[in-house]
Structure 1
């Protein structure tokens, strides 16, 4: 009954628009004070500090900063030109360019919101100018941006790794194949729409233009090679790779001599605020996690579900539905920090690979970024396109179906996402 009261208090605080991190902290302090007495609150500040100072978390602001530098130095524009030269001649090619560039940008920023903000401001107006419907332009930009939390590096994967103690590098490797499958599926839907509505092709394929855009974008290609090559090759951790990504992005920007200082400043401020929100969530979640562990709530939940079924696939089905539902209402960072420590004992007792489950969680939350009412990535794309969210959602349903298909494949055919992990690490 006491735990139910704490949960009700947390829900009420969230419903009256108290920020989730603050609501979580208040609920945790209330729970600890009632259960253990006010004397137990003496170490609250130290516990919060200890929870937020994890070395792995430094990767989050670093990857966000690298993405901001890319957008402020003309790197994004050069990527669009290069990918357009490769596939722009296909009908609906600009929509495919959108997906292709998101795929590349995802390998630097690790943030879907950063991806859609950076990409959308450039490519959505261009798609509208080429007679693509504004709702579709917002939908394809939003869905392709969610690849940023599937393809390494991924900020939600970093948070999951910190919350569960799982190798972040192995999580990154597990996301490669599902991310590529998702990109191919999104391009397929874009091509179908293009044929159905007779959308335009870009310029005819031109080998000279392809060569010119490749040479212009060549320094940019060093970024994913350094980041992913360093991580997968075992030369650096994810956190070290994040720092290297910032340095590499600065060097590429200096090479191009095209830094928009105003845009860079604004992007850095926004990235700093996003990071502060995540860090506060991490800090307050430590308090709640400590209380829940003492009260043995995770163990009781695990026992209750295992009493229903011990079948791994049924447990994964239950958890998939659960994460899809909470994805409607919580941002990915909040969902991971709140829920993963609670269900970790269930995953362990059911014998589910925690790396595989981390990928499943991330895919669920990628879908949650596209489903109102929260849908932070979708709302950002709608704002840029000046399109109604419900009109965008109608166009977005087939794209969400692609992400759901990738989720099902990754959940129930684990060999597909996990064979790279097995090859590199086991």
Structure 2
């Protein structure tokens, strides 16, 4: 039997078995990678190579942006920035059917555009708006479904930790170009959710009873401007070349901290706890990147990506069918695996195939992250799905039926992203980030 086939069988058999019996995903990836490495190297060589790959996989200046954006998100959540974004979003959604649900969607887009975390958005925004929706008579399955369906927009609208990971594993792909490329797909996702939410709200006759004066509205907008300026400063600075994405992430931390201290929502004694929480979250992500680097090395060494490419091309050479198969596989993978390891493991497999059919690496990056975003709200593993249900105090069974229309609209947008390159690469071209 071919070495690549043997190695692939061990790798892709041991990994799901370990996941099914409850082994943490990073340990599962590391163990299955180590087993696979023993197929191609002697014990001492496998040990040395594993250690090297763990170091090399995380030894990247670009990856420094991840802990800083995680820290910025935690400071936002506790520093009064999130609530100001939510209050501002209420003004946008007030005139639409299901105004509080629409406000939830806009707030998730704004919060995600600063924190880059869908789970954080679902927890922070959903936890704040859910009691207000309950007071207005919204059914918990509706409000939870809207919160869950809109939270992943933050993984597409920059800054996005998942896109940073993709740029690292894909090679010479600009983080700035990926960031700006995520805007249109992310906004389309949010608008699609808003349309479905409006249709549902109209059927349920959800009407806002909250009245505000012009003076209150102006005060709310002025209160939110400093928080919204963070998006302009960080993304604008990256696009203008004033600083890199990594430097921008550090600036985001300083800005969020200064703003939170001005708001008097965070005291200096709170910082050790925030730093520790951010360090724990960072360690999980970085360790996962390291062990995934081991797996990527084994696949490259045994030519597994090339074998899979030959297998897919043996089925058909039709570009549309190949891209549909890739999307289907990534949707399935996303329901069982977190986005970070999925990007690290499957980018080396599918990117060469996509490029072979003329797809730009930036478009492919947005496509693969879009797929995995859908996975975060899909059973059985979806982290945003579980977070949203916990925040809403509702079971997955009750909310799942309400999520079905959102799955349909996000899948349709995914197909648009897949087959209309301009949705991903028009903005990077406009800003001169790609030719």
Following superposition, the deviation at residue 410 of structure 1 comes to 0.9
Aligned to 2:134: 128
184-193 vs 38-47, which deviates more?
38-47
- Output the CA distance in 2 between the equivalents of 1:265 and 1:109: 19
Q: 1:90 aligns with which of 91, 96, 115?
A: 96
Give the corresponding residue for 2:43.
Answer: 38
Residues 116 and 261 from structure 1, CA distance in 2 versus in 1: closer, same or farther, beyond 3 angstroms? farther
- In 1, the alpha carbon distance for the partners of 2:48 and 2:168 equals 25
Task: Name 1:172's counterpart in structure 2.
Answer: 179
Distance change (3 Å), C-alpha of 1:216 and 1:105:
same
Q: Which residue of 2 aligns with 1:19?
A: 24
Displacement after TM superposition at 1:110 (Å): 0.7
Deviations 1:357-380 (A, max 9, x none): 111111111111111000100100
Bigger mean CA offset, 408-417 vs 379-388: 408-417
Alpha-carbon distance change, 133 to 45 in structure 1, aligned in 2, over 3 angstroms: same
How far has the Cα of 1:39 moved from its partner? 2.6
Contact 2:136 / 2:208 at 8 angstroms: preserved in 1? no
Unaligned stretches of 5+ residues in structure 1: none
Residue 148 of structure 1 is matched in structure 2 by 154
Superposition pairs of residues 380-391 of structure 1, within 5 angstroms: 380-391=387-398
| TM, length-normalised to structure 2 | 0.93
Query: 1:248 — aligned with what?
Result: 255
Q: Confirm whether residue 159 of structure 1 aligns to residue 127 of structure 2.
A: no
Cα distance between partner residues in 1 of 2:313 and 2:366: 22
Instruction: Say if 2:348 is the partner of 1:344.
Output: no
- Rate the CA distance shift 1:91–1:23 in 2: closer, same or farther, 3 A: closer
Secondary structure of the residue aligned to 2:336 is coil
Distance in 2, Cα, partners of 1:96 & 1:205 = 17
For residue 402 of structure 1, report the CA deviation from its aligned partner. Answer: 2.2
Q: Distance in 2 between matches of 1:349 and 1:205?
A: 56
1:312-327 equivalence runs, <5 A? 312-327=319-334
Given that 1:90 and 1:201 are in contact with CA atoms closer than 8 Å, whether structure 2 keeps it comes out as: no
Task: Report if the CA contact (8 A) 1:312-1:352 is conserved.
Answer: no
Q: 1:111 aligns with which of 117, 130, 144?
A: 117
Distance 1:270 1:326 in 2: 28
Residues 250-275 of structure 1: CA distance to partner in whole angstroms, max 9, x if unpaired?
12112212226787766554443332
Shift in alpha-carbon separation, 1:267–1:19, aligned structure 2, 3 A: same
Name 1:101's counterpart in structure 2.
Answer: 107
Q: How many correspondences in the alignment?
A: 426
For residues 274 and 190 of structure 2, the distance between their equivalents in structure 1, rounded to whole angstroms, comes to 26
RMSD: 1.9
Aligned to 1:71: 77
User: Structure 1 residues 24, 366: CA separation in 2 closer, same or farther (over 3 Å shift)?
Assistant: same
1:187 is matched with 194
Per-residue Cα deviation, 1:38-87 (whole angstroms, up to 9, x for no partner):
13122422321121121111111211111111121211112222221343
The one-character-per-residue Cα deviations of 1:379-426 (angstroms, maximum 9, x if unpaired) are 001011110111111111112222112111111111123211221222
Question: In the alignment, is residue 415 of structure 1 matched against residue 419 of structure 2?
Answer: no
Q: Is it true that 1:303 corresponds to 2:307 in the alignment? A: no
Structure 2: distance between partners of 1:264 and 1:109: 18
- In structure 1, the residue matched to 2:232 is 225
Relative distance call for 1:113 and 1:269 in structure 2 (3 A) is farther
Q: Structure 2 residue aligned with 1:7, among 9, 12, 18?
A: 12
- After superposition, the Cα gap between the structure-2 partners of 1:83 and 1:263, relative to the gap in structure 1 and judged at 3 Å, is farther
Distance 2:116 2:32 in 1: 30
- Offset at residue 204 of structure 1 (A): 4.1
Contact 2:63 2:165 in 1 (8 A): yes
Give the Cα separation in 2 of the matches to 1:58 and 1:304: 37
CA deviations over 1:19-39 (Å, ceiling 9, x no partner): 121122122222222322113
Aligned to 1:139: 145
Counterpart mapping for 1:365-380 below 5 A: 365-380=372-387
Whole-Å separation in 1 of the counterparts to 2:41 and 2:51 = 16
Please say which of residues 68-77 and 370-379 is displaced more in the overlay. Answer: 68-77
Q: Bigger shift: 119-128 or 269-278?
A: 269-278
Q: Distance in 1 between matches of 2:92 and 2:315?
A: 52
Whether contact under 8 Å (1:81, 1:213) holds in the other structure is yes
From 392, 405, 409, give the equivalent of 1:402. 409
Is the CA contact 2:29–2:291 (under 8 Å) kept in the aligned structure 1? yes
